[in-house]
Structure 1
């Protein structure tokens, strides 16, 4: 769908608002999921900023590249810029060390609405691993992106992304174990990780109407 997406982007850049609305409608759910468990009340503004940045940086899309990788690459940069602005008093921001819990300790309200304990546990644990690793893991589970596609998002070798995904899973497992109410809850969440990640995706899809603009 690269050519179609880029065609919509080009038409939007030429002044066709309907093309811009169509592009937004097509990719809004994915970008919402990206910011959902990270940006709190600022998420809506960051989503808008991401689409506008995509428009402004249109010429950076290389022939044959993945539009989704480009889109999430822009979203990643927007998020990191946001958190660099949040850090104060000379504190250093490092996405491979800093967690969402460090910079945004209060989860978004909708992330607390799930009746599934495992979903709440998974969302909380994701916020406790380094932001760069959280992003990679969520793209893998929520967006069904391959290591190669995620490499395009981060502009890193695929081997590096595979290493990061392994490290992210290890840290996620550690955090799940630390905050689970019982060994049974921990094992239920860990062994059904892909299924619980799908629950998150489905719940965010249901939450879409409340957040759309």
Structure 2
């Protein structure tokens, strides 16, 4: 499944060439990276609780990424590095705020509106299940919630999840196991 944008996953070699062009002063080349990665970055921001501030979080993440390109390691994948910045920006947004539940409820409502089923009962049941799942995910501690969001909601690989969150692969696996156990306990009928 293509989760990186309109035109399919960008290859690391292609990314490296684009990054080299940006570093050589061709600032317009950065737009290629933005086009490829903005949809997933926005989804991560929304799922991290940024809600209506998601576009601001993503914009700030791209600005910070652009400014920090000199610290980007050659040969590394740009997407996890960028998504890590998005995670940090989302965390910064929420320091001292408690509006996350309202934002996640809006996401559930928006998803329900986009549901393809025309049967109102089917849509209602789907919305109820989504709300229960998001509620259970929201109840997880932040470290577990972030791993579930990256791995399952954004469909990142374990390696990309580890890079995005700045944690070892083994930590991703153990947090996923703990998360799934807690979610099964919270949603026994699912």
Structure 1-normalised TM-score? 0.66
Summarize deviations over 1:163-199 as a string: whole Å, max 9, x none.
Answer: 111112122233335xxxxxxxx32xxxxxxxxxxxx
The 10-residue stretch of structure 1 (167-176 or 66-75) with the greater mean CA deviation from structure 2: 167-176
1:6–1:124: structure 2 CA closer, same or farther, 3 Å change rule? farther
2:183 to 172, 178, 186: 172
Aligned partners of 2:57 and 2:90 also within 8 Å:
yes
1:31–1:43: structure 2 CA closer, same or farther, 3 Å change rule? same
Q: Where do 5+ consecutive residues of structure 1 fail to align?
A: 88-101, 178-185, 188-213
Instruction: Output aligned runs, 1:107-186, within 5 Å.
Output: 107-108=103-104, 109-113=106-110, 114=112, 115=123, 116-117=126-127, 118-177=129-188, 186=189
Instruction: Note the aligned Cα RMSD (angstroms).
Output: 2.3
1:64–1:22: structure 2 CA closer, same or farther, 3 Å change rule? closer
Instruction: Please report how far the alpha carbon of residue 79 of structure 1 lies from its aligned counterpart in structure 2 after TM superposition.
Output: 1.5
1:44–1:169: structure 2 CA closer, same or farther, 3 Å change rule? same
Partners of 2:140 and 2:65 in 1: how far apart? 28
Aligned partner of 1:34 in structure 2 is 44
Instruction: Please report how far the alpha carbon of residue 21 of structure 1 lies from its aligned counterpart in structure 2 after TM superposition.
Output: 2.6
Instruction: Please report how far the alpha carbon of residue 80 of structure 1 lies from its aligned counterpart in structure 2 after TM superposition.
Output: 1.7
Instruction: Please report how far the alpha carbon of residue 156 of structure 1 lies from its aligned counterpart in structure 2 after TM superposition.
Output: 2.1
1:10–1:54: structure 2 CA closer, same or farther, 3 Å change rule? farther
Instruction: Output aligned runs, 1:38-53, within 5 Å.
Output: 38-53=49-64
Name the count of aligned residue pairs.
163
Structure 2-normalised TM-score? 0.73
